[in-house]
Chain A
Amino acid sequence: MTTHDHHDHDHGHHHGHDHDEASELSETELRVRALQTILIEKGYTDPAALDAIVETYETKIGPHIGARIVARAWADSGFRQALLADASKAAAPFGHDGKVGDHLVAVENTPDRHNVVVCTLCSCYPWDVLGLPPVWYKSFAYRSRTVKEPRAVLREFGLTVPEQSEIRVWDSTAEVRYLVLPERPAGTDGWSEEQLAELVTRDSMIGTGLPRTPAGDRA
C-alpha cells in the first residue's frame, strides 16, 4: 500500500459521481479563488501581499540558510558551541531578515548517536532555516513510523546507521524546532565555508540523510 499525503483525491465531496483528477483540481482551485477573493474583498489583505508570501517561500527561505549555519559550525568550533548552547541566538544572523525563531535547538550527530526529527501530530518543521517541508516529511508514513521503527524508515532513504549507534528521535510536539548538525565529512580539511555548505543537504539537517562527501556521493 502506498497511500501518500500528496494525492489530490478529495474524499470530502459527495456528488454521487466520479471526478477525474483534472476536474477535482479545478474544483479545489475554485475554492481557493473564493478564499482569496473573500480575504481581499473584506480588506484583510491584498493580492500583492499574498503573492509576496508565496514568493518568499519559493525563492528566499530554504535549506540554503541551514546549510550555511552547519558549514559555519564545521569551520568554527566556537560557533559550533554557541549553536549547541543557543541555536536561535547563534543562527540569527543567517536568517531571512537577520532573525530566526526563538526556539531553535541544534542537535549534534556523533559517531555514537544519530538524530532524526519528526512531527507526529502535524508537520512542525524549522521553516525559518529549512524553508517549507518536503512532501515526505508531511506524509502519513513518515509521521507514523519514525518514532517506532526509525531504522526501517532511514533505510528507505538509503541510510543505514551503524547498529551500535543510538537513534535519537525528536518529536516536535510544541514550538521548539530542531536542526540536526551532521558530522563533517572526512577529507574536507581547509575547505572554505562556502565549499562546506555545498555538501550540506536538506535531509542531512532533518536526519534522514548524511552530507555529501568530497568524492561527490552521499556517505
Chain B
Amino acid sequence: MNGIHDMGGMDGFGPVDPDESGPVFHGKWEGQVMAASRVMGAVGAWNIDQGRYGIEQLPPHRYLTSYYHRWLARCESALVKYGYADSDEIAAGHSLRPGKTPPRGKFTVANLDRISRRGTFTRPEPAPARFAVGDRVVAKNVHPKGHTRLPRYVRGHVGVVERLHGCQVFPDSAAMGEGDNPQWLYTVRFDGRDLWGADADPTLKVSVEAFEPYLDPA
C-alpha cells in the first residue's frame, strides 16, 4: 500500500537530531510494549510481515506519533485480528474469556533465545534465479493495495543487480497469510541521479533489497 510508512525521499520532517540517542527505553512502558509485541511474534500469533502490515494500516495521524505508540496500536489490533483477544477485552483491560492456543504455545523464560536470535527467512529455491550480478533491471511500476517491500522511490527506475541473497519468504504473500511463497532476493543498486534527477548528488548510489517479482529485465 502507498502508505505514510513509505518515507524515502519525502521532505518536511526537518533535521535529524543525532543527540536523540537516549536510553534504550524512554519510559518503562516502551520496553513493556516491545516485550509484549515480541512475545506474540515468538509464539507464532502473527508473522513479521503481518506485524509490519498492521503498523502500515494505522491511519497516518496515528502512524505519526512515536515508534512504540505504533507498536502498541499494532499489538492491540493484531490481537483482535488474529483471534487472540477481543476488543471488549482490550477496552476492559482484562481477559473475559479463554484465549486461543498459539502455534508455539506459551512463551516462558526458557524460550528467550527465540527473541534474541533472529529467525531465518531463507527457503529452498523453487526455481533458478532469473537475474545475475551485473544485470540491469527495472523496478516495476506497481502500486499494490496490500503489503509490499518495494519502496515508491525506486519504482519505474533502472538499477543493477549487485548481490543475490538466495530465496526468502515473500513479504507480499506472508503478510496476507498466504504462506511463504519464497522468491529470489537481490540487492539492486540505483544511481542517485536516476532516482532524484539531474541535480542529485553525483556520488550517490542507493540500493534496496528487491524480490524477483518486483523486477523486470531493463
Interface residues of A (CB under 8 A from B): 1-12, 25, 28-39, 41-46, 48-54, 56-58, 60-62, 95-97, 99-103, 105, 120-123, 127-128, 131-132, 134-136, 138-145, 147-151, 153, 156-158, 163-177, 202-203, 208
What is the bound-complex CA distance between A135 and B106, given in angstroms? 31
Q: Which one of A62, A105, A169 has the highest number of Cβ atoms from chain B below 10 Å of its Cβ?
A: A169
Contact A50-B18, Cβ < 8 Å, known A42-B98, A166-B205? no
B75 touches A169 (CB 8 A): no
B18 touches A136 (CB 8 A): yes
A44 touches B43 (CB 8 A): yes
When C-beta atoms are compared, the residue in chain B nearest to A122 turns out to be B52
A173 touches B209 (CB 8 A): yes
Contacts of B13 in A (CB 8 A): 1, 3, 139-141, 144-145
Shortest distance from the beta carbon of A46 to any chain B beta carbon, whole Å:
6
A141 touches B15 (CB 8 A): yes
When C-beta atoms are compared, the residue in chain A nearest to B108 turns out to be A49
Contacts of A54 in B (CB 8 A): 25, 31-32, 34-35
A-B CB contact pairs (8 Å), 27 listed:
A2-B17, A3-B64, A4-B20, A12-B62, A42-B84, A42-B98, A44-B43, A45-B108, A50-B39, A53-B112, A54-B25, A56-B112, A56-B115, A100-B118, A121-B5, A122-B5, A123-B67, A128-B116, A136-B17, A139-B16, A148-B195, A163-B203, A165-B203, A169-B206, A171-B208, A175-B121, A202-B21
What is the bound-complex CA distance between A117 and B51, given in angstroms? 22
B209 touches A174 (CB 8 A): yes
Shortest distance from the beta carbon of A165 to any chain B beta carbon, whole Å:
6
Contact A45-B107, Cβ < 8 Å, known A33-B93, A53-B38, A101-B117? yes
A36 touches B24 (CB 8 A): no
| Cβ-neighbour of B118 out of A101, A143, A144 (below 8 A) | A101
B62 touches A157 (CB 8 A): no
A122 touches B40 (CB 8 A): no
What is the bound-complex CA distance between A170 and B203, given in angstroms? 14
B75 touches A35 (CB 8 A): yes
Shortest distance from the beta carbon of A44 to any chain B beta carbon, whole Å:
6
A147 touches B65 (CB 8 A): no
What is the bound-complex CA distance between A29 and B69, given in angstroms? 11
When C-beta atoms are compared, the residue in chain B nearest to A120 turns out to be B8
